[in-house]
Amino acid sequence: MTNIKTSMPKYQIIGEQFINRILNGEFSVGDSLPTEKELCEHFKISRHTAREALRYITNTGLVERRQGSGTNVLRTSMPEAINPFIGSVQDLLQHGNATIFKLDKSDVVLLTQQQAELINANQGDTYIQLGGIRHEPHDKKPICYTYIYRKPQQDHVDVGLKDITSAIKTIKETLDSNKIGKVEQTITSILMPELVANKIGSESNSPALQIIRHYYDKGQTNIILVSESIYPAKRFSYSTVLFPE
Amino acid sequence: MTNIKTSMPKYQIIGEQFINRILNGEFSVGDSLPTEKELCEHFKISRHTAREALRYITNTGLVERRQGSGTNVLRTSMPEAINPFIGSVQDLLQHGNATIFKLDKSDVVLLTQQQAELINANQGDTYIQLGGIRHEPHDKKPICYTYIYRKPQQDHVDVGLKDITSAIKTIKETLDSNKIGKVEQTITSILMPELVANKIGSESNSPALQIIRHYYDKGQTNIILVSESIYPAKRFSYSTVLFPE
DNA sequence: ACTCTAAATTTGTCCGGACATATTCCACAT
DNA sequence: ATGTGGAATATGTCCGGACAAATTTAGAGT
């Protein structure tokens, strides 16, 4: 699966090539990559393009460049992608806005025992369930699969969620930071369900992070909605910073 | 404190300027930064330098660039510099004090590739490694297995850790709350290693939560020690509450 | 064998230009 | 109003060149 797309820019083609060679063990830690000049001559490209290719590789964190010295291999495996520190509701929503949510399904369901436990509800309750994939912006790489649950409350939000065309817009309006009192968040470890694995291009039964969030209103008593997100652990982890006092 | 250093490159000076303006609230989320052309004209620079400046800003994660559209503000605070308050270090230590840590092993080890990646160190480095089981005080059921890593620093802490009889006391003293500046915490999902599974009576290869904590000193530059805890997901999850700022 | 210096190497910064591609905007037709 | 198409705008890719700054290498001298 090198690349079907011929439309990839030169620097990216060359960059990907070296990234793969590093990951495949053709370069060891400490080894030097070709210099800009060597890349120019070998690939018949301008120095600018060679530099862009090396920058592309550097951005993965696999190599390091030092003026006067060259480009050296730092690691031979992809560093884990770490999600940005989320410390407040604002951070959470900003993170949501910085990524793209692609709706996959919209249903009204009767909660199974398992689902009910997850979202602290009762088995057999009727809930609106949305499912979707969260992507990096302008990148096809999926971040996670997210289910959104909402207890029907016979209001305009219900109507908006049930209609696929307005569902995302409705979610964004509902999760406005000045409508939210608090968010309870529970993180645990599960095995990637096959259904989700297929949709986000991950491996079934591999370790996965499951983050469940309960969004409460300003009064902190009513649950606005509940989300369940499943992240492949190979690519993502959850980081926080704690300060004394 | 604009810059005493006149040796900063143009793109960086301009980039820093806009980063500060974003952090100071001069731009809101969704606002557009000047276009490349506008930067060129305003600062009398080439398009290349303008692009480098915008790339410099983009690398902070504060803005996003889209072809044909422009440069838009994604967030107005530095992802790493936020003051999140998910729980305090005190809470963490309190929990630690309320449980019993039973030392299982004490060694000086050369870090494997995997271990080095975990604790952000270099492969082959010498580290003091402690392993132990954390119990509830009135319950024999183990909570988690914890590894503690410390880079030898030729001080009394080293000596204390290496001696089994004083190791636990030394850990408690070292992690005294008024010696700690911050704790960075990373949570991910793994499969329960067989070695750990046996010791805490869990199932091998079942989903597990792995929490890695980096304890920094008051200056927030030196790592005092690193801990890695493995929890069986069937029994434990990690919960936090987020509030609006 | 060693040190110091100068040259060569390599990346960093900055300028100029050209065309490609994605988005936005507006006039025009429906 | 609606939407369709093309112009204007904005970023992306790629080329050429020049000099600066850091590092490495090689050589001269002791």
pTM for this entry = 0.58
* Nucleotide closest to B37 measured between CA and C1': D10
Q: Average pLDDT of A204-222?
A: 85
The pLDDT assigned to A245 comes to 44
| Chain B hits for A87, Cβ within 8 Å | 82-86, 242
More confident residue, A209 or A135: A209
Work out whether strand A126-135 and strand B70-73 pair parallel, antiparallel, or are unpaired: unpaired
HSE of B55, CA atoms in CB hemisphere, 13 A: 12
pLDDT tens-digit series, residues A12-66 = 999 989 988 998 889 998 899 999 999 999 999 999 999 999 999 998 878 989 9
Selected for mutation to probe chain A from B176, B189, B213, B214 (highest A CB count within 10 Å) is B189
Residues 13-52 on chain A lying near strand C, CB distance under 7 A? 35-37, 48, 51
Residue B19 has pLDDT above 80, yes or no: yes
Domain positions in chain A are 10-73, 81-237
Q: CA-to-C1' distance for A177 and D2, Å?
A: 35
More confident residue, B23 or A167: B23
The CA–CA distances, whole Å, from B114 to A36, B124, B125 equal 32, 11, 12
| Chain A hits for B80, Cβ within 8 Å | 85, 241
Let me know if domain A10-73 sits in CATH 1.10.540.10.
Answer: no
B12 strand C contact, CB < 7 Å? yes
More confident residue, B79 or A195: A195
The pLDDT assigned to B84 comes to 24
CATH number belonging to domain A81-237 = 3.40.1410.10
Nearest CA in chain B to A85: B79
CATH number belonging to domain B89-232 = 3.40.1410.10
Distance, in Å, from the CA atom of A141 to the CA atom of A154, rounded to the nearest integer, reads: 36
ipTM: 0.57
Q: CA-to-C1' distance for A33 and D30, Å?
A: 38
The pLDDT assigned to A233 comes to 79
Nearest CA in chain A to B76: A94
pLDDT tens-digit series, residues A100-110 = 778 888 889 99
Contact A201, A235 (CB under 8 A): no
Q: CA-to-C1' distance for A230 and D19, Å?
A: 52
pLDDT tens-digit series, residues B110-141 = 998 888 878 888 888 899 898 888 766 555 56
The pLDDT assigned to A82 comes to 41
pLDDT tens-digit series, residues B22-43 = 988 899 988 999 999 999 999 9
What residue has its CA nearest to the C1' of C15?
B46
Q: What string of H, E and C letters represents the secondary structure of chain A?
A: CCCCCCCCCHHHHHHHHHHHHHHCCCCCCCCECCCHHHHHHHHCCCHHHHHHHHHHHHCCCCEEEECCCEEEECCCCCCCEECCCCCCHHHHHHHHHCCEEEEEEEEEEECCHHHHHHCCCCCCCEEEEEEEEEECCCCCCEEEEEEEEECCCCCHHHHHHHCHHHHHHHHHHHCCHHHEEEEEEEEEEEECCHHHHHHHCCCCCCEEEEEEEEEEECCCCCEEEEEEEEEECCCEEEEEEECCC
- Nearest CB among B74, B83, B183 relative to A98 is that of B74
- Cβ of B84 and A94 within 8 Å? no
Nearest CA in chain A to B62: A98
Q: CA-to-C1' distance for A189 and C11, Å?
A: 44
